[in-house]
Amino acid sequence: MKRLKRIGIITAGGDSPGLNAAIRGVGKAALGIEGVEIIGFRDGFRGLAEDLRVRLDRRALSGILTIGGTILGTGRDKPHRMEVGGEERDMTEVIVRNYRKNKLDALVCIGGGGTHKNALRLVEKGLNIVTLPKTIDNDIPLTDATIGFDTALGIATEAVDRLHSTAHSHHRIIIAEVMGHRAGWLALGAGIAGGADVILIPEKPYDIVHIATAIRKRSRHGTNFSIVAVAEGAMSKEDAAAFAKAEEQKKNATSKTQRQRAKTELAVLSARHSGNTLRLAKQLEELTHLEARVTILGYVQRGGTPSAGDRLLATRLGTMCVDLIQEQVFGVMVAARGDGVKPVPIAEVAGKLKTVPADHPWIDSARRVGTCLGD
């Protein structure tokens, strides 16, 4: 079989700890094959459109394993809707041209949900693409794990741990907001590992009265503090119903006006939801008569040194990715399966989301240690 010599690589979407470990894994494994070159492109798909090349030789790949972020830079640009010179343009053909101009044999895209949708578009244009799953949200289907989740889980767990002593000292409710708009893996994992008393995730719309009852019960038993781990996308049953109704109206709209009305309603609901954690704190203060405070963990969860688990995962996926390229297996994501890896078609991943199933063992364990899930 012909040896593939020129491999391009990008990191796209939100950054995650472990991206550099993945670049290094791909790069070192590729450079270990005689005559193979690896070319980085800056800032995700924009780097491909603007041909922003970075030479990844042994020196560039050295010393990056433990460093957070990505040496290539990243971005959320979409090839088919990219802002160029103040206007939105379809840059797909430009990207295809640059791929050919650089004589790439393959392109590795490391990213999350959006990256997989974008990568699929380029696969459909005939590019040889292999992806690696990366996101602190852990919401990519068909893989056991995603690069970045383990580190973020450690950071969020430590935060929940630390909030216990201050909540206890002041007899307060402390609400820790954890990242995760549509999937609650991080809030659920950190909530369980950190011993949160209440865990709220997007998959389980909550009833504020149930949460207040659980907190009051703790007070009656002499524990007048509580820790609530809430995913940024968690919402009340009423808000979830309002969102579902607007989504339904958008889907069933038969005219432009109806569609626009539904879209406006969704935008209003989203804007209102952005203050949800602060609202939750106020509601709980009123219902429990305990003081409540909010800690938004935010980008701290994505920053800094990757955990040992993420370095290992990124190195495993990165090195195996080079084998798939040399075997000319394209249009696939390198999924983690047990101790090994499995190529799965990007088409089966793109546009899909791995949310927490209602019967997931983590949910059962959380309930059995007495955690309120708000439902």
Task: Tell me the catalytic residues.
Answer: 137
Neighbours of 182 (CB within 10 A): 16
- Residue 194 zone, left/alpha/beta (φ > 0; ψ -120 to 50; rest): alpha
Residues 216, 217, 223, 227: what is their CA dihedral angle, to the nearest 10 degrees? -60
Residues 6+ apart with CB under 8 A from 66: 21, 305, 306, 311
The residue from 180, 194, 202, 318 that contacts ligand F6P (CB under 6 A) is 180
Measure the CA–CA gap between 117 and 347, rounded to whole angstroms: 8
Mask: binding to ligand F6P, 226-245, rule CB under 6 A, as x and -?
A: ------x-------------
Q: Is 14 in the site for ligand F6P (CB under 6 A)?
A: yes
Mask: binding to ligand F6P, 291-310, rule CB under 6 A, as x and -?
A: -----------x--------
The residue from 136, 192, 280, 284 that contacts ligand F6P (CB under 6 A) is 136
Closer to ligand F6P by CB, 109 or 320: give it: 109
> Which residue's entry shows tokens 């063992």?
361
Q: Is 179 in the site for ligand F6P (CB under 6 A)?
A: yes
The residue from 43, 50, 77, 137 that contacts ligand F6P (CB under 6 A) is 137
**Count of residues engaged in binding ligand F6P, rule: CB under 6 A:** 11
**Torsion angles phi and psi, residue 131, rounded to 5:** -115, 160
Closer to ligand F6P by CB, 45 or 330: give it: 45
Measuring CA to CA, how many Å separate 79 from each of 6, 48, 50? 21, 9, 11
Closer to ligand F6P by CB, 56 or 231: give it: 231
User: At its nearest, how many Å lie between ligand F6P and the CB of residue 202?
Assistant: 11
Q: Is 111 in the site for ligand F6P (CB under 6 A)?
A: no
The residue from 112, 154, 191, 331 that contacts ligand F6P (CB under 6 A) is 112
Residue 177 has which token pair? Answer: 């907001």
Q: Is 181 in the site for ligand F6P (CB under 6 A)?
A: yes
Segment 240 to 279, residues that bind ligand F6P, using CB under 6 A: none
Question: Considering Cα of 158, then 161, then 162, then 163, what sign does the dihedral take?
Answer: positive
Q: Is 73 in the site for ligand F6P (CB under 6 A)?
A: no
Residue 142 has which token pair? Answer: 């068909």
User: Which helix (H) or strand (E) element contains residue 100?
Assistant: helix 92-101
Cα Rg of the chain (Å, integer) = 23
Q: Which residues would be at the binding site for ligand F6P (CB under 6 A)?
A: 14, 76, 112, 135-137, 179-181, 232, 302
